[in-house]
Structures are given as C-alpha cells and as structure tokens.
Structure 1
Amino acid sequence: MMATYRVERDSMGEVRVPAKAYYGAQSQRAVDNFPVSGQRMPMPVVYAVALVKGLAAEVNAGLGVLPPPLGEAISRAAREVLEGKFDDQFVVDVFQTGSGTSTNMNVNEVLANRANELLGKPLGGNAPVHPNDHVNRCQSSNDVIPSAIRIAARRELSDRLLPALVALRDALSGKAEEFSDVLKIGRTHLQDAVPVTLGQEFSGYASQIDHGIRRVRATFADLEELPLGGTAVGTGLNAHPEFAARTIAEVAGATGIPFRPAENRFEAMGAQDPLVAASGALKGVAASLMKIAHDLRILSSGPRCGIGEISLPSLQPGSSIMPGKVNPVILEVVIQVAAQTIGNDATVTVGGGLGVLELNVMQPVMARNLLESVGLLSSSTTMLASRCVAGIAPNRARCAELIEQSLAMVTPLAVRIGYDKAAELAHEAYHTGKTIRELLTEKGGLTADEIDRILDPRTMI
C-alpha cells in the first residue's frame, strides 16, 4: 500500500527553481522555455498525481499489464515523492497547457527516473521504466489531472479549512455565551435600533460560520467523483477495463475518503463544475468573514471617539506617526483575504466555463486559485479565532451608556401613546440633546417606576 497521503503546506507562491533538476531534466527544459510566473503547480496537486501514479502501477501489475518489478519500483518512487524527498524536482510553471500535461509528464519523468535508479540503472534513460509506457500506463493527462485536482481539493478542504472554521465557530459561540448578559444597542442601516445583547450579536456570527461549514461539506460528494480511466476523451481507450475501478478504490483506501468513479466521464473531463461549486462555497465563507471582520472593527472603533463597545487584543503598533495608536490588524488581514478569495473565485468560474468540447483547458489555474483560497482562508481564520476573537472583551459601561442615549428607546412607547407621538418625542430628544428618560420625567404622567419598566432594555430583547 502507498504511504499516507500528505500535503506540503508552504509550496504555493513564488519559488526559486533549482539550476538543474536531475530527475526532471525534460521538465526543467520546459521551465526554461516557458517561464511565465515562477509559481509551480501547488504541491497538493503534485502529491495527488504521484499518489495516483503509484497506486496505478500496483493495480497495473496486478492486472498483468505491467511487469511486477517495474510496478513495485514505480510504487516505491511514488512513496518517496509523497514523503517530500523530491519536491524540488517538480518545477513546471502553474501557467502551462490547460490540461496540466506538463505537470503530468513532470511526475511521470521523476517517477521513471527514480524507479530506474532503484532498479540499478543510471538517471536520464527511459529503460527499463519509461515515463509514458509504464508510469502513464492506462492513463492520460486528461483524466489524471482532473482526478488529482479533485483529490487535492477534497483533502485540503477537510484537513485544513474545516478544522479552522470549526475552531472559529466555537470561539464565536463561546463569546456568545460569555456575553449573553451584556446589553447593548442594536443598529440597522448604521442607525440606532432596539437593544440586543452582545451575546446575540456574536451568536449570529457563529451561525454564519456554521452555515459556511455546511456549504463547504456539501461540495464533497461531487469532488469525490474521479474521471480516472477516461484517458484521452472519456472513452477509456488504451486502459484495462478494470483499471479505473480498482485504482480509484485504492485511492479511497489510501486517503480515507470515499472517492468513486465518475458517473459520467465525459462530464467529469469536459467540465469542472465541482471545482466551481467548491470555489463558490469558499466565496460564501469569505463574504461571511468580511461581514464579521467589518462588524468587529466598527464595534471596537475608537477607543474613545468611536463606538468602543468591545476591546480587541492589542498585537502591534498601528501607526508610524501617532504614538500609542493600535489598529485592528488581524481583522484587516481577514478582509484582504476575503477579497482575494472572491477574486480567485471569479477566475475559477471563468475556468469552469471553458470546458471546451471533451476537455476543460483551464485546470491548472483553477487548481491554483482554489487551493490558494483554501490556504489563505485556513490561515487567516485560525489567526482570527486564536489571536483576535479569543481575546475580545466587552466594555459594559460603554454599552449601557449608548443604550441610554439611543433615540430607539422610544420604541416601546409606541404601543402606549401611538407611533406619531412617539416619533415626536424622539425628534424632541434629538434636537434638545436630552434622553428619552429625561423627557418622560419632565413631561410627567408616568411614575419613575413606570418609566424604568418601559425603558428596561431587558424587556426589549
């Protein structure tokens, strides 16, 4: 069996390409000829390709279409790739042929060279293990790459993003309970509204993240359909009839994820709708995070000349000119990540629409953007939970002060004196600078106890 699937975390972004790639010499020449961005294919995709190749070699040996010694050598080479021993050999630019053929061949070449070395042969030859004839047996870039992207995306979502989102949801839920007795003024349209508790406000944030978790999980079933075995156009030409089912079963066993053959290979190769759906779910999470981060910035604004109902942990100086100023750094990081995720989704959506006839030709950039969003959301969400939300504290005195000053406190009077008279009272309070309580006391007609009972914010929530 293959080694446990694992993912290199710091492989995205710009990388320094080694001067000489001994196991991937042909791939290095491709980089030299087409140096577009300096960014490699995300390593989770490379590892997924290697996983497929190693398991395919074992299956092919069992089916009698690959000599067992060659199958074992390829499988062992793939295990070493999954252990991270050859990361610097996967050098092709992520902006490559739209099918991902360059990455497929990069992996084929590295595995063939390493397998030949394990069999006592020098590097650089194609015997006894050939990159195409043996490593790529029963496969094509056209079915391997979309399968690998789905494997990588499904794994990254469950292993990285969901734990981060669960931690944030739980942190927000904890604050909702902690702040359940903190009365404050509500706001709609950025204007004063009737009271709520700070706990109720935070419960809404926690529910947003919980719904985001559900939407992410809802994308899993489609990502688990693999078109492996479709070879060039979905027909399965040159593949053993049992190859796909057996190899996908091995992938499921190695990853612990219920991957299964695609219901329709033509759909799974000609379109990449599951990636679009997954990216859409990430966009939804990003929108939630942007709303929550904005709210926390507003509620903590000040500290003296803003709303100031909550205090954020102080992490670093926020101004190069104003001594003592502290900015909501983490919240601004989260907002920027959310914006990037939304932009990434636009590219993934366009990519999904460019499934041209029997093959989608935008797969590398779709993989890059989707996995970048997963990584950014995972890291920023973890930081938001542990270094911001966990340290938020309420300013109880400020919350009580703003409730008393709010014109919305006139609302419960509407059922006693009518809407129009209540509105007149609110306007008078606004123009005189007096509170609703002060005006009611001046006008008489209600006892102090009655005023206290009517204006008790606890009766309004």
Structure 2
Amino acid sequence: MTKNFRIEKDSMGTIKVPIEALWGAQTQRSIINFSIGEELIPIELIYSLTLIKKAASIANFNLGLIDKRKKDLIVEACTEILDGLHDSQFPLKVWQTGSGTQTNMNVNEVISNIAALKTNSELGSHQPLHPNDDVNKSQSTNDTFPAAIQISVVNEIIKNLVPTIRELTKILDNKSEQWKDLIKIGRTHFQDAVPLTFGQEISGWSEQLKDAENAIIISLNELYFLPLGGTAVGTGINCPKGFCEESIKSISDDTNLMFYKSKNNFSIMASHDRLAQVMSQIKILAGALFKISNDIKILSSGPRSGIYELIIPQNEPGSSIMPGKVNPTQCEALSMVCTQIMGLEYAVSMANSSGTLQMNEYKPLIGFNILTSLKLLKNAIENFRTKLVYGMEPNQKKMKFNLDNSLMLITAIVPKVGYEKAAEIANLAFKESLNLKEATLKLGYLNEDEFDDAMNINSMI
C-alpha cells in the first residue's frame, strides 16, 4: 500500500505529515494540538508574513548573510504564495499559540518546501532552504507577526475599506444635492419636530461616514511603524544592523505604502495599543452605519401604516406568510454586521489589555478580529450601496402630507406670541382637530396675514 504520509523532523522529534503537504512538522503539530473551531488565520495575514519573508531574504542577502541562490529561491517561493498558488497550504486555526509562532513557522515551512520542489529535493528535507536558519533568519515570530498584522490592516483599510466608504458617500452626496429642495418634517425623540430638507438629512449621514473614515485614516499613522528587527523581546538579538531598514524598504516598495522603523520595539511588541485604537475607530464607523441603517428603516416604514417618506428597492419577498410584504433587509444585514463588529472590538480591547511583560499573547485574535471586521464592513457597505441606497427614492406626496399636518410648525410663531401662547395653540389644534391657522385665529393671538407671514416653510430650513 502506498504511504499517504512522510516523516518530518523538528526539534521535538519526528511526526507524520501528509505526503503532498507543503507544510512541515511544526504546522502538523499545530493542526493536531489546536483543532479548535473553524476560523483560520486570515489569508491576508499570511500574505503579509510572506511579504516580510521576501523582504527579509533581500535584506539578508544585501547584508551578506545568505547567498544569491537562497535569496532567489525565497523570493520565487514568496511570489508564488502572494499570487495565491498555495492558499490551501495554510490550514492553521486562529486559536493557537498567542504569539502566532505556528503560523510563522507554517509560512517558513511552505517556503522551504516550495524551494525543495524547485530543486528536486525531498519535501521536508530542509534543502536547499532551512525554515529557521534561512527563511526565518534575522527574525522572530514576536516581531514578524505583529508587523504582519499592521501591514495587513493598513493595506485592507487603504486599498479596500476606504474606497468602499467613498463610493457610498458619493451616492449620498448626489442624493443630498438632488433632494436639497424637498422639505419634510424633522423628528426628535421619535416625535414630530421642525422642518428640514431631505437633502439636509442625508448630508448628515454622509458627513458622519466621512468623519469616521478620517478618524480611521488618522489612527493608521502609528501602524506604519514596524517592529521588525526587534526579534524576541525588542532588543534585536540575532539581527544584524541595517536589517530593519533594508527589509522595510522592500515592504514599502511591494505595497506602495510607506512603512518605517519602529520608534520603540519594546512598546510595539509588548502591547498593541495602536491596533486597538484602529479597531475602536472601526467600531465608530460601524456605529455610524448602524444609525444610518436604522434611520432608513424608520423613514421607509409602512407602506400604509408608517412614515413611508422613503421608498426603498424591493429586492425579495419579505414574508413566508404575508403576501406582498417587503422588508428593509439590507438595513438588517448591515445592522447585524455592525453589531458583530462591536463585539469583536470589545474582544480586541480585552486582548490588548491582557498581554504580559515583553509580549502580548493574543496576537492571532487581534489580527483575526480586525481583518474580519474590515472584510465584513467592505462587503456589507457594497451591498447596502448597490442594493438599497442607489435605488431609494423620496415619497414626496407623503412628505408633504406629514409636513402639512405637523403641529411642530408652531415653533415658527414663538417669536411673535411667545412659548406659552404657542403651546396653547398647538394643544387646541390637537384636541379639536384644527389646523394651526384655525387654532391661532380662534384664540385671537394673530390675524391671518401675521400668521401667514410667520408660517413660511422656506424660512424654517
């Protein structure tokens, strides 16, 4: 019978590894010892670690620590991984060692075995590249893993999340301009308030998202400083002078993002305050989106027994029992995503505060929660924009009806008659089902011309 495994060796001894797997002994031990849940280390984090391995090989070559052949093999292997050719070779769960060591070794082992394939060497032979001595040279998991999280988060936010937010705010700005003259009743405490235009209301949504986006971008500033070269505890043991600068230059070139040497490795490796700060700003964005989705649900409520000032696209039947029912499902999906992100943010906050001495041992959780939040938000915002916001339209007839029947327009005559008399007019109108003019004239507080002059809707906005 043909064997379906090979024997690999690490510092703890031998272990069976699937015959065709490109990972090695340490990865296999993690598969066995941490079979918890279904959540895998995000592939974006794998790619960032791979970028670091590629950059490290170039730095090590430039510093005379490895020869050109080894450097070229590492670069070729990393290029294949970054092209997505080996995604299935990274099977490790999030719930592993808190440093991410097994994932770092997973990447090292895959690079080593890709090089073995390219040189017709045996898988697991550690020839011509050794996972630790060559691929991991001048590095430690303790500096590469947090650096990889930072690179991944910056890359995902700048290249994916921010453009997605801007596409949504662009549509909101267009609709705000289109509907700048549509006057409607405002509402506070879920009760009628004074008028505003629909364009003004939507401009508030857009500005809220722009503020959240700006806060996220500002929070990224500290993530551009990478702790590479700190190795195990920040001192840089086994790392040559110039390695950090050389490797960060390569990473900046590959990502088209400008990264820098950390100001203090001890701080950035022992705690992840900067990542927690970014996650808190992501939560603020989630809160803004939650508020906007709730507003749209309220404004589109009905169609006959609600406010129904906003008509939203009808994407699918809303009920298995009530024919003709259509629900604000995109709002609901977005709200669930936002709720999930708020929970993920709390976990990041707890994880960040729970590190000990020279290292935070919650790195996989922090990286997973932030990257998961970014992907969820990107997808949810895109759906929300294309399936709902783009196609929503104002119900001008219902807007006018609600506006004309609002008692809060009485606010406009307060300067002429005072608060108490205005309240008396509003109460009389409500009790006797009169309009505001009829109630004002009945009480004799203003004549018809004075009332009409004060009750100028355009002047109220």
Same fold (TM over 0.5): yes
Q: Is contact 1:21-1:28 (8 Å) kept?
A: no
Aligned pairs for 1:392-431 (under 5 A) are 392-431=392-431
Q: Give, in whole Å, the separation in 2 of the partners of 1:135 and 1:292.
A: 48
Report the alpha carbon displacement of residue 39 of structure 1 after superposing the two structures with TM.
Answer: 1.8
Q: Give, in whole Å, the separation in 1 of the partners of 2:34 and 2:248.
A: 33
Aligned pairs for 1:49-64 (under 5 A) are 49-64=49-64
Aligned pairs for 1:259-270 (under 5 A) are 259-270=259-270
Q: Is contact 1:73-1:116 (8 Å) kept?
A: no
Q: Is contact 2:437-2:448 (8 Å) kept?
A: no
Report the alpha carbon displacement of residue 238 of structure 1 after superposing the two structures with TM.
Answer: 0.4
User: Partner of 1:23 in structure 2?
Assistant: 22
Q: Give, in whole Å, the separation in 2 of the partners of 1:39 and 1:341.
A: 16
User: Partner of 2:257 in structure 1?
Assistant: 257
User: Partner of 2:14 in structure 1?
Assistant: none
Q: Give, in whole Å, the separation in 1 of the partners of 2:125 and 2:445.
A: 100
User: Partner of 2:5 in structure 1?
Assistant: none
Per-residue CA distance 1:321-378 (angstroms, 9 max, x = gap): 1000000000111111110111110011111112211111100000110011101111
Q: What is the TM-score of this pair, normalised by structure 1?
A: 0.94
Q: Give, in whole Å, the separation in 2 of the partners of 1:456 and 1:408.
A: 13
Aligned pairs for 1:42-441 (under 5 A) are 42-441=42-441
Q: Is contact 2:425-2:443 (8 Å) kept?
A: no
| AA partner of residue 83 (structure 1) | D
- Name the % identity: 38
Q: Give, in whole Å, the separation in 1 of the partners of 2:302 and 2:437.
A: 27
| AA partner of residue 22 (structure 2) | Y
Report the alpha carbon displacement of residue 63 of structure 1 after superposing the two structures with TM.
Answer: 1.0
Q: Is contact 1:287-1:338 (8 Å) kept?
A: yes
Q: Give, in whole Å, the separation in 1 of the partners of 2:224 and 2:20.
A: 33
Q: Give, in whole Å, the separation in 2 of the partners of 1:74 and 1:369.
A: 30
Name structure 1 gaps, 5 residues minimum: 1-17
Q: Give, in whole Å, the separation in 1 of the partners of 2:434 and 2:104.
A: 73
Q: Give, in whole Å, the separation in 2 of the partners of 1:313 and 1:20.
A: 53
| AA partner of residue 178 (structure 2) | E
Q: CA RMSD in A?
A: 1.5
Q: Is contact 1:99-1:145 (8 Å) kept?
A: yes
Report the alpha carbon displacement of residue 21 of structure 1 after superposing the two structures with TM.
Answer: 5.6
Partner SS for 1:317: coil
CA distance 1:21–1:355, change in 2 (3 Å): farther
Partner SS for 1:359: coil
Which moves more between the two structures, 198-207 or 379-388?
Answer: 379-388
Report the alpha carbon displacement of residue 19 of structure 1 after superposing the two structures with TM.
Answer: 7.0
Name structure 2 gaps, 5 residues minimum: 1-16
Q: Is contact 2:417-2:445 (8 Å) kept?
A: no
Q: Is contact 1:283-1:345 (8 Å) kept?
A: yes
Report the alpha carbon displacement of residue 393 of structure 1 after superposing the two structures with TM.
Answer: 0.8
Which moves more between the two structures, 433-442 or 182-191?
Answer: 433-442
Per-residue CA distance 1:142-180 (angstroms, 9 max, x = gap): 000000000000000111110110011111111111111
State the aligned residue count: 444
Partner SS for 1:192: strand
Q: Is contact 2:216-2:282 (8 Å) kept?
A: yes
